[in-house]
């Protein structure tokens, strides 16, 4: 089972949310640190994804995530793997090899995502 967060406002096509189990939904008012002034809020869905549905969800997210005016990502993990999805690009990180996060962080920042938003770590649940 994978667990992660999907921000509804990051999706061009929110029907992908039908393919996951939403455990909790929180709404955050946008602040300067979000760097998304065109939005008033972020709707954060904490989700679980069954192993047998994960690849389908990954592919849908990769084509559903918005890349303009700013790029977004979604991520989820199980005990061994952290999957980080950007528009058109997917990373599968072995959580026992933290150095694998360096490329993902650099890629996210190259898309204009603030460094504090790509602070991926194997320790963060």
CB 67 within 8 A of CB 52: no
Helices (H), 8-125: 51-64, 101-110
CB 44 within 8 A of CB 66: no
Whether residue 69 is preceded by a cis peptide bond, meaning omega within 30 degrees of 0, is yes
| Residue-wise DSSP of 72-96 | --EEEE-SSEEEEEETTEEEEEETT
Is the overall model pTM greater than 0.85, yes or no? yes
- What is the residue whose two structure tokens read 């455990």? 23
Residue ranges per structural domain of the chain: 2-117
pLDDT, tens digit, 9 for 90 and up, residues 16-31: 999 999 999 999 887 7
The pair of structure tokens assigned to 4 is: 């992660």
Dihedral pair phi/psi, residue 25, rounded to 5°: -130, 130
pLDDT band at 33 (very low <50, low <70, confident <90, very high): low
pLDDT band at 34 (very low <50, low <70, confident <90, very high): low
pLDDT, tens digit, 9 for 90 and up, residues 56-115: 999 999 999 988 877 899 999 999 999 999 999 999 999 999 999 999 999 999 998 888
The pLDDT value given to residue 37: 62
């Amino acid at each position: 089972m994978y667990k992660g967060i999907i921000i509804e406002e990051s999706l061009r096509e929110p029907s992908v949310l039908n393919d996951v189990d939403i455990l909790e939904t929180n709404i955050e008012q946008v602040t300067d640190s979000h760097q998304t002034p065109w939005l008033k809020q972020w709707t954060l869905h904490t989700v679980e994804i069954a192993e047998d549905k994960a690849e389908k969800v990954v592919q849908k997210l990769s084509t559903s995530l918005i890349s303009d005016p700013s790029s977004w990502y979604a991520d989820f993990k199980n005990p061994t793997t952290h999957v980080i999805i950007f528009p058109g690009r997917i990373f599968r990180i072995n959580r026992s090899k933290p150095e694998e996060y360096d490329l993902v962080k650099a890629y996210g920042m190259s898309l204009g995502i603030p460094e504090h938003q790509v602070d991926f770590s194997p320790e963060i649940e």
